[in-house]
């Protein structure tokens, strides 16, 4: 298909646990997406609406596809776990493959069919050193010098995870917006508020950099699981309950694997 703005721009609407995406297949053509288009399509009243926009382009070598992610505010993101799972499921259905390799600005990511309609993606090893996340200055990333002593983690994008007694008491919109722009995070940050429910069970809510309050976030779930394991609160395999549903995270030797459901909601053509 010819994805040009003059002739209308075909897209897919998908979500993973309510974390929703517009996906544009630009394989074989110049990508039509820029910051202005991303912002226009993100508008939930005058556009399509999404937490992130993903663009598929040709990948080199043995990879199946390259993914580029845009936030709702028009900024770029190197990682988007739930969108990666959605696209992997779409490509598995399209090709019949049960194993894919996808490339992003985060690097090479493996995806596998986990059975029963679930899709797993290896989001790679977490970034635990301050300069890799990145933070503004050298410090211990396990407990930051911020009220509440949150943990900093990089998953291709920066994360700040607060462990709280009762996540229901947290004003996530107000606190998330405040900490997104904390001076310790020069590239802004995703903010998670996590409550330990059991030895390997977490309730978590998330504020995403460039998108705001979302029903779920794959990279935030990975970061929260890593932070909980590092702090000795859980093992390396956890179930996380988000506003939009349940995701399973397994921090293995080869990276942080996330497994959960996906949904292809509808196809459309952008004529704006």
Which tokens sit at 18? Answer: 């309510």
Sign of torsion over alpha carbons 252, 187, 81, 151: positive
CB 73 within 8 A of CB 53: no
Q: How far apart are CA 77 and CA 131, in angstroms?
A: 18
Q: What confidence tens digit (pLDDT) does each residue in 238-266 have?
A: 999 999 999 999 999 999 999 999 999 99
Q: How far apart are CA 161 and CA 191, in angstroms?
A: 6
Phi, psi values for residue 230, rounded to 5°? -60, -35
Q: How far apart are CA 65 and CA 86, in angstroms?
A: 13
CB 28 within 8 A of CB 58: yes
Confidence of residue 6 (pLDDT cuts 50, 70, 90): low
Asked whether the bond before 134 is cis by omega within 30 degrees of 0, the reply is yes
Q: What domains sit in the chain, N to C, each tagged with a CATH number?
A: 9-123+260-265 (3.10.310.10), 151-251 (3.10.310.10)
Average per-residue pLDDT in the chain? 95
User: Which pLDDT score, from 0 to 100, does residue 252 have?
Assistant: 98
Q: What confidence tens digit (pLDDT) does each residue in 11-56 have?
A: 999 999 999 999 999 999 998 999 999 999 999 999 999 999 999 9
Half-sphere exposure (CA, 13 Å, Cβ side) for 73? 9
Q: How far apart are CA 226 and CA 250, in angstroms?
A: 9
SS3 for 251-264, per residue?
EECCEEEEEEECEE
- Quick count: other Cβ atoms within 10 Å of Cβ 45? 5
Confidence of residue 149 (pLDDT cuts 50, 70, 90): very high
Residue 16 per-residue DSSP state: E
CB 19 within 8 A of CB 36: no
Q: For residues 137-151, give the mean pLDDT.
A: 98
Q: For residues 210-229, give the mean pLDDT.
A: 97
Q: For residues 77-91, give the mean pLDDT.
A: 95
pLDDT at 4 over 70: no
């Amino acid at each position: 298909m010819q994805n040009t703005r003059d002739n209308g721009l075909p897209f897919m609407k998908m979500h993973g646990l309510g974390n929703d995406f517009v996906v544009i297949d630009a394989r074989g053509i110049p990508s039509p997406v820029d910051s202005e288009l991303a912002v226009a399509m993100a508008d939930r009243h005058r556009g399509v609406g999404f937490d992130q926009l993903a663009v598929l382009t040709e990948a080199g070598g043995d990879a199946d596809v390259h993914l580029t992610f845009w936030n709702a505010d028009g900024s770029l993101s190197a990682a988007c776990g739930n969108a990666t799972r959605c696209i992997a499921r779409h490509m598995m259905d399209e090709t019949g493959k049960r194993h894919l390799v996808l490339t992003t600005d985060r690097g090479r990511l493996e995806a596998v069919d986990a059975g029963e309609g679930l899709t797993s993606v290896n989001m790679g090893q977490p970034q635990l050193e301050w300069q890799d996340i990145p933070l503004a200055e050298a410090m211990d990333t396990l407990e930051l010098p911020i009220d509440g002593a949150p943990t900093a983690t990089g998953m291709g994008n920066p994360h700040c995870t607060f462990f709280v007694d009762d996540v229901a008491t947290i004003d996530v919109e107000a606190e998330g917006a405040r900490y997104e722009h904390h001076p310790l995070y020069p590239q802004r940050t995703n903010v998670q508020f996590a409550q330990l429910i059991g030895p390997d069970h977490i309730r978590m809510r998330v504020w995403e950099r460039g998108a705001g309050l979302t029903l779920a976030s794959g990279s935030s779930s990975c970061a929260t699981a890593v932070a909980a394991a590092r702090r000795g609160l859980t093992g390396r395999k956890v179930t996380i309950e988000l506003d939009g549903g349940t995701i399973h995270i397994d921090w293995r030797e080869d990276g942080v694997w996330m497994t959960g459901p996906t949904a292809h909601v509808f196809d459309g053509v952008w004529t704006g």
